[in-house]
Amino acid sequence: MEEDTRAFLLLIVNTIARVLLWMMVQVFIGIYLGYAFFDDQASWQNMAYYGFFLLTLLWLLKYLKGNWKI
């Protein structure tokens, strides 16, 4: 296999793995631990979870954008 093709496929696999890991962490914290759901009104735990969600999403997108600049 050519070296460029191998590097490109490795980049794709690493991107998929990182996105899936991020999604699994968010599902565990949000759904399994229950921080994504509001009872009667939003609590500080809900706001902290959604803040963490947005910050890590922005970090992940910035990281992936940097990796895809070849």
Check residue 69 and give its pLDDT: 87
List, for residues 7-51, the tens digit of each pLDDT value: 999 999 999 999 999 999 999 999 999 999 998 899 999 999 999
Record the pTM. 0.86
Query: 70: pLDDT confidence band, cut at 50, 70 and 90?
Result: low
Single-letter residue type at 41: Q
String of DSSP letters for 35-65: TT--SSS--HHHHHHHHHHHHHHHHHHHHHH
Query: 57: pLDDT confidence band, cut at 50, 70 and 90?
Result: very high
CA distance 4 to 28: 36
Domain residues of the chain, as ranges?
A: 22-70
Single-letter residue type at 36: A
CA distance 2 to 60: 29
Check residue 9 and give its pLDDT: 95
Check residue 4 and give its pLDDT: 87
